[in-house]
Structure 1
Amino acid sequence: MPITNVVVNCTDVQRSVEYYAKFLEVELIGEATAERAVLDAVTATIELRAVEAGREQSTWVGDDLQKGFRHLGFKVDRLDERAEVLKAAGVEFKLDPLDAEGKVRICFFYDPDGTLLEMIQGDLQYAEMLDAEGVARERALGVPPRPRFDHVAVTVEDRAATDAYYRDNFGFSFIGTIEQPHDPRGFRIGYLKSGDTVLEVFTYEHEKSSRAPQLDVAGFAYAELAGDPPPDLTEATAPDGTTVYVDPDGFAFSVGPTV
């Protein structure tokens, strides 16, 4: 079942609403409060939740060798034009626009509280296609009229184990791979698709670090998947009482109604 919602903690909800609306053209659902706002990102919602600034230091680092959450990805048109608007506004970039493996154009930048975001333009040309029907469904989505949520990227220890877990419990399908032959760390990417959303799975031959999820500090908190509670995973509780599950690589998610 797909990713239906992504919870992002922020220190100023209104500031983040304005940021996501201006740069990613999300649409506010209902009314924003000082504590919470829900944004329509076409294929999923982005839920902004307020946390106290400086309450606790985030342990997330922008090193893809740290297992667990890495970034949120959005499919876009006119990537370079959008990047120029971001730069003119003083938004911090991690990676300027470039042509990447898989014949797509990408860039990486940060939201006001340091959550790493990616824009992607074009259809991925996979090094190995594993599910032709899944790839066809992905490409049938076409060029988005406004940026649409596409994926959550995670670094994992064992791609096969991750594939099996999310396939068996949530119906994700491993649709293809991208190789990174110039990366000395032995970097590979796999794509697990469900509905219109994707888990982008990073693996490395290099040694990786671990991180426990932090549900009450600024930044990515957890994703919500449609489905039933999974078996045999560590549980945590979000500030609003939501039960959150933590997979073996430290990626946090809740479960909600099947869509």
Structure 2
Amino acid sequence: MNHQSKGFIPGFKDFQHVTVSVSNVDRALAFYRDLLGFPVLGRLYYPNQVGLVIDFLDIGNNGILEIFSFKVPTKPTEWIPDDLQLGMRHIAFKVQNVDATAARLKAAGVEFTLEPTDATGGVRIAFFKDPDGTLLEIIQGDLKYHIPGQAPLPTPPAGGAPAGSELCYDHVTLTVSDLDKALAFYQGILGFPVLGQLNMNDDRGFVITYLQFGNSVLELFSFARPTIYHTWNPDETVLGLKHIGMLVDDVFAVADRLKSAGVRIIYPPNHALGAVDTCFFADPDGNALELINGTCTYDE
């Protein structure tokens, strides 16, 4: 953790969204809106070849879940249940009582991959899947790091979880191939301070590093063993987690700064539908990140 943070990139405001592609939007909304309790903020239609429709849901902690659905058939996810696989692993939500929330979700037929359990760091967790198999986590309690960082804990904004939901967005998780390279990028270039680390003490050399991402957290999985192929696919119709969005004042200025630092730009800055400016760029492992300068103007 020796990549000195220079502070958040100029004009950085906060985490804004995380995106998931789904095969059936009605089923996805029944899960995320009706079962998990995340209110729908609006919908945006893209006139492209795949007939992209984006639903925007309030997941608390200033965060938005973007649900991508399509008029064409989707393709199976390339995600596998092996944390050595590079890319986006899961989205996590804070709850008051993991066991009670898990019991309610299980009664509704939700598939759990990890029953409620006490975990390293002094928290209680459980893992479950959305209808398309995207992995989600619920967490109770505050982490106690093995190696504390130098950043203060994020202060949750007023309101926390959205009205009507017991879940509140906490973090998104990436597996990285090289922790030093990842920290040189996320801490050194983007300026995300390190909150701390947990040593999982397994034979893979598993270490979890936590970085402050506005009012939320970015969780990095790293290993002493080699990682395996990446989950990210530029084809939007491949199911699963797609990208992470961050709110900035000036997309064009931040993109110029990233380019000058040698960061790969996936899609250059542009004035997008929804009356916002956007730009997509990649971390050292190719994970897609988006700059956005505001909240979309929804079609409905």
Which amino acid is the alignment partner of residue 281 of structure 2?
Y
Unpaired segments of 5 or more residues in structure 1? none
2:189 aligns with: 169
Separation in structure 2 between the aligned mates of residue 24 and residue 64 of structure 1, nearest angstrom:
25
Separation in structure 1 between the aligned mates of residue 113 and residue 23 of structure 2, nearest angstrom:
21
Which amino acid is the alignment partner of residue 209 of structure 1?
I
CA shift for structure 1 position 128: 1.1
1:255 aligns with: 291
CA contact (8 A) 2:73 2:237 kept: no
1:39 aligns with: 57
CA contact (8 A) 1:51 1:217 kept: no
Residue of structure 1 aligned with 2:218, choices 182, 193, 199 = 199
* Alignment CA distance shift 1:112-1:8 (3 Å): same
Residue of structure 1 aligned with 2:18, choices 3, 6, 17 = 6
Structure 1 or 2, whichever has the larger Rg, is 2
Could you tell me the percent identity over the aligned residues? 35
Whether 1:108 aligns to 2:148 is: no
Q: Normalization by structure 2: what TM-score?
A: 0.76
1:221 aligns with: 242
1:73-102: CA deviation from partner (whole Å, max 9, x where unpaired): 111112111101111122111111100000
2:266 aligns with: 235
CA shift for structure 1 position 208: 0.8
Which amino acid is the alignment partner of residue 244 of structure 2?
A
Q: For 1:103-142, what aligned pairs fall within 5 Å after superposition? A: 103-131=122-150, 133-135=151-153, 137-138=154-155
Unpaired segments of 5 or more residues in structure 2? 1-11, 46-51, 249-253, 296-300
Separation in structure 2 between the aligned mates of residue 140 and residue 255 of structure 1, nearest angstrom:
21
* Alignment CA distance shift 1:121-1:233 (3 Å): same
CA contact (8 A) 1:171 1:194 kept: no
2:85 aligns with: 66
CA shift for structure 1 position 162: 1.3
| Count of residue pairs brought into register by the alignment | 254
RMSD: 2.7
CA contact (8 A) 1:10 1:219 kept: yes
Separation in structure 2 between the aligned mates of residue 161 and residue 142 of structure 1, nearest angstrom:
36
Whether 1:48 aligns to 2:96 is: no
Which amino acid is the alignment partner of residue 151 of structure 1?
H
Separation in structure 1 between the aligned mates of residue 159 and residue 149 of structure 2, nearest angstrom:
20
Separation in structure 1 between the aligned mates of residue 171 and residue 212 of structure 2, nearest angstrom:
9
Separation in structure 2 between the aligned mates of residue 236 and residue 213 of structure 1, nearest angstrom:
15
Q: Which moved more, 1:187-196 or 1:207-216?
A: 207-216
Q: Normalization by structure 1: what TM-score?
A: 0.87
CA shift for structure 1 position 167: 2.4
Which amino acid is the alignment partner of residue 149 of structure 1?
Y
CA shift for structure 1 position 248: 2.1
1:125-144: CA deviation from partner (whole Å, max 9, x where unpaired): 1111112x522x35898985
Residue of structure 2 aligned with 1:246, choices 252, 258, 282 = 282
